[in-house]
Chains A and B, each alone.
Chain A
Amino acid sequence: DIQMTQSPSSLSASVGDRVTITCRASQSISSYLNWYQQKPGKAPKYLIYLSSNLQSGVPSRFSGSGSGTDFTLNISSLQPEDFATYYCQQSHSTPPTFGGGTKVEIK
C-alpha cells in the first residue's frame, strides 16, 4: 500500500496568513493526489483533485501543486471558515490511502 505522510500534523495561524501543508507519498503517484477539508462533526469536502485542480465552488485562495511523491496545499490568505482539518489522498492505486491530516487552528 502507498503510505501518505502529511506535515505538520497541526498548525496555528491567524486570519490573513499564508498556510502551506505538505504531503509525501511513499512511492511515485504521478499527479493522482487529492485534498479534502473536514470541519468538526461534518463530512469531508472535496477541494482539489489531480494535484492542482480546484473543485467547482472552491475559493481561489486554495491552490495545490506537486507531482511524483511531494505535494503541497496552499491557502494564500486564511479566512475564518478555513479553520479545519485537511487530508491528502492518493488515487493512483488501490487501496486509496489518506494522509494523517493537518489541523489548522486559530492563533
Chain B
Amino acid sequence: EVQLVESGGGLVRPGGSLRLSCAASGFTFGGYSMNWVRQAPGKGLEWVSYISSDGRSIYYADSVKGRFTISRDNAKNSLYLQMISLRAEDTAVYYCARDAVGATLRFDPWGQGTLVTVSS
C-alpha cells in the first residue's frame, strides 16, 4: 500500500523555523517527483513546492520562495521541507503529495498532513 506520513508540525513563533518530514512507503520513492501542498484553516489548497525524482529540479510558490527549502533523501525514502522566517500566514496543514503515475503536478496520493501553527 502506498503511504505518505508527515511529521514535524507544531507551534512556532513568528520568525521561527521548522522542518517537516514525509516518510514514504509502498512504492519506489526515488522514481517519483514529490510536492508539498498546504491548506490554511478553513481555506482552500495552495501548492507550495515541487522536487523532481532526482532532486535536480525544484520549484516554489512565490509566497514561500527564499524562506522554504524542499529536499529529499531517496536512500531514506523521505521528503523534507525546511521552513524559516515563518509568518502567521504560513499557518496551515501541510500535506506531502506524490506526483501521480506518469504525470507531473498531479497529486496522488496525499499524506494525512501535519499542522503548522505560527503564533506568538
**Residue ranges of A at the interface with B (Cβ–Cβ < 8 Å):** 34, 36, 42-46, 49, 55, 87, 89, 91, 94-101
Contact = CB atoms under 8 A, between A and B. Distances in A.
Which range holds the interface residue count of chain B?
Answer: 20 to 34
A46 B107 contact: yes
A98 B59 contact: no
Interface string B90-120: 0000010000100111111111110000000
Interface string B30-53: 000000000000001111001000
* Interface SS majority for chain A: loop
A55 B45 contact: no
Contacts, number: 53
B88 interface: no
A94 B50 contact: yes
A81 B113 CA distance: 22
